[in-house]
Chains A and B, each alone.
Chain A
């Protein structure tokens, strides 16, 4: 399965600022997925990022707040913009398993964000 390097692993940020999270995959993948996991909650999909096209956002998430870049088949970034304490969460990137989505998805190690 793919190996994902996600960074930073954690950060404490001031409200009103932005943080960019990076995910690097050791193989080429068509889709990358960005999730949020709020404290004590399950995973909520923010958006799906395809190389060469705009990301597809889920209901409740907008590009101005969570801009995503996908410059190539092994790399993506998620920016959390104009942060507020409500954005304090774990953010995770994910990719399809080898052979496609029927083989499950691998997750990065996550970014624990605290907004103060």
Chain B
């Protein structure tokens, strides 16, 4: 059984701070990694994807990947109250098209 682990939180940060969300995965063959944001009562929406070791930046979001350590993270700069949501890490399972979701980290950004 492939596993994806995230700290469930809540992770509380003040407005304007950097939020750091972490994820470890067990499938060493995973090559594609996705971060989803899910607001309460809504479906997940894709915010970042990363495939290569290192950093990938998109606006206020930076995804970081270290395949050797089986670790992927998401940094949110200048956090806003509207960023308050659950963030789901989802590697694509090696050899398959399906995603394996972590339990999610709940982020709370206080004004």
Task: Write the residues of chain A forming the contact surface with B, with a CB cutoff of 8 angstroms.
Answer: 1, 31, 33, 41-45, 48, 59, 92, 96-97, 101-110
CB–CB A43/B92 < 8 A: no
B-side contacts of A109, CB under 8 Å: 42-43
- Give which listed residue, A41, A102, A106, contacts B32 with CB less than 8 A: A102
* In the complex, chain B residues whose CB is within 8 Å of the CB of A105: 34, 46, 99
Per CB-CB distance, the 7 closest pairs between chain A and chain B, nearest first, are A107-B43, A104-B46, A43-B101, A101-B97, A42-B103, A110-B43, A42-B101
Known A102-B51, A110-B42; further 20 A-B contacts with Cβ < 8 A: A1-B46, A41-B103, A42-B102, A42-B104, A43-B101, A44-B101, A45-B99, A59-B1, A92-B43, A97-B46, A101-B97, A104-B49, A105-B34, A105-B46, A105-B99, A106-B46, A107-B43, A107-B44, A107-B45, A109-B42
Does more than half of chain B's interface fall in helix, strand or loop, or is it mixed? loop
Interface size on B, residues (CB 8 A): 20
Residues of A close to B101: CB separation below 8 A: 42-44
Q: Which of A33, A41, A42 contacts B98 (CB 8 A)?
A: A33
Hey, which chain B residues are within 8 Å of A43, CB to CB? 44, 88, 101
Least Cβ–Cβ distance between B88 and chain A, in angstroms: 6
Q: Chain A residue with minimal CB distance to B1?
A: A59
Q: In the bound complex, what is the Cα–Cα distance between A92 and B99 (angstroms)?
A: 13
A27 to B101: give the CA distance in the assembly, Å: 25
A96 to B90, CA, bound (A): 13
Kindly identify which residue among B43, B97, B100, B104 contacts A48, using a CB–CB cutoff of 8 Å.
B97
CA of A59 to CA of B102 in the docked complex: distance in angstroms? Answer: 17
Query: A41-B103, A48-B98 known; A104 and B43 CB under 8 Å?
Result: no
Q: Interface 1/0s, chain B 39-61, versus A by CB < 8 A? A: 00011111001010000000000
Of A31, A44, A107, A108, the residue contacting B97 (CB under 8 A) is: A31
